[in-house]
Chains A and B, each alone.
Chain A
């Protein structure tokens, strides 16, 4: 660090005692031998003195008025919390709880049966999985498998042996046959 420009860049930090020892010593030696940088240093010292005279208040602030304000805010918050707790407690009576139970049950029934009245209402996005629709077609069952994402449709013909299985009591073979 030799040039005056570099010295000026670090002058502020040097005066604040924030430079490492070796750098600070180099600064000190330079300023001692450079009139221009010494002038810059004095200007900064005058600026700091002027700043102190303006920024440091003439009189101290009293603790009591400040604390009264803080205390009032704490009390106000406490009373607000207490008001909420009191309001909540006042509503936690036996009759209100007795009413709350059937209301919650009705709400749950409504929530689970909403699909019955309004199909698809609770579905967040279109179903991308296979959907199966089957119809009876002249003694055979037809199943349609549609997959929305790849636009694939599979038509599946099979003979329903459920009735025969039940009648014969043979459980070994289950599912469709082709």
Chain B
């Protein structure tokens, strides 16, 4: 019988690394995707994802079960990713190339060349616009768009109210729309 998150957390708190490994296997994909959405670079995302789970392991005893495990792990991931982003201040050019490359791999199927040009340009502008968002605005966009999380969950992860989440999402989308007005 498969153990629940709560049972695995309890076993991990007792020092059982195998139980913690199971938790990591459950959430590694989602956590990695959110971090990649924030950092836009696979190597950095891998580094931050590993650090996220390592910190979660170190702090597992402080997890009281007041929120769900995934909210807790996302909170750690987003905080580390935002710190990382602020520290690194990566060159936007690196980021653009990386994302373009990723998109090419994703869309290898041949399509209408005019549509391709339009899409490429849109992508390029969109990536640039995302890059210009503040880490807090970027975080709400990623958590909502990639994970489809509710405002309540996003608020718990970012440590703010649902109203703040709503307002941040509204302004982040508005900023993106302004920069992409020619394409939408």
Contact = CB atoms under 8 A, between A and B. Distances in A.
Interface string A4-18: 000001001100101
Interface string B149-170: 0110000000000100010011
Interface string B66-98: 000000000000000000000000000000000
A74 B17 contact: yes
B28 A66 contact: yes
B29 A60 contact: yes
Contacts of B36: 57
A91 interface: no
A170 interface: no
B25 to A, nearest CB: 5
For the complex, would chain A's binding face be called helix, strand, loop or mixed by DSSP majority?
A: helix
B37 interface: yes
A146 B60 CA distance: 59
Interface stretch (A42-50, A112-120, A147-155): A42-50
B73 to A, nearest CB: 12
Given A57-B102, A58-B106, A67-B24, A77 B145 contact: no
Contact of A59 (B28, B58, B105): B105
A16 B151 contact: yes
A37 to B, nearest CB: 14
Size class of the A contact interface (CB-based, 8 Å): 20 to 34
A63 B145 contact: no
A66 B17 contact: no
A61 interface: yes
A54 B103 contact: yes
B25 A69 contact: no
A69 B43 CA distance: 12
B173 A44 contact: yes
Interface string A63-76: 10111011101100
A16 B169 contact: yes
B166 A13 contact: yes
A65 B45 CA distance: 13
A74 B50 CA distance: 10
B80 to A, nearest CB: 13
Interface stretch (B3-11, B109-117, B120-128): B120-128
A46 B184 contact: yes
Interface of B: 17, 21, 24-25, 28-29, 32-33, 36-37, 42, 45-47, 49-51, 53-54, 57-58, 99, 102-103, 105-106, 122-123, 126-127, 130, 141-142, 144-146, 150-151, 162, 166, 169-170, 173, 176-177, 180, 183-184
19 contacts: A43-B177, A47-B173, A47-B177, A47-B180, A50-B126, A50-B180, A50-B183, A51-B145, A52-B145, A53-B103, A53-B123, A55-B37, A55-B130, A55-B146, A61-B42, A63-B25, A67-B24, A67-B25, A77-B54
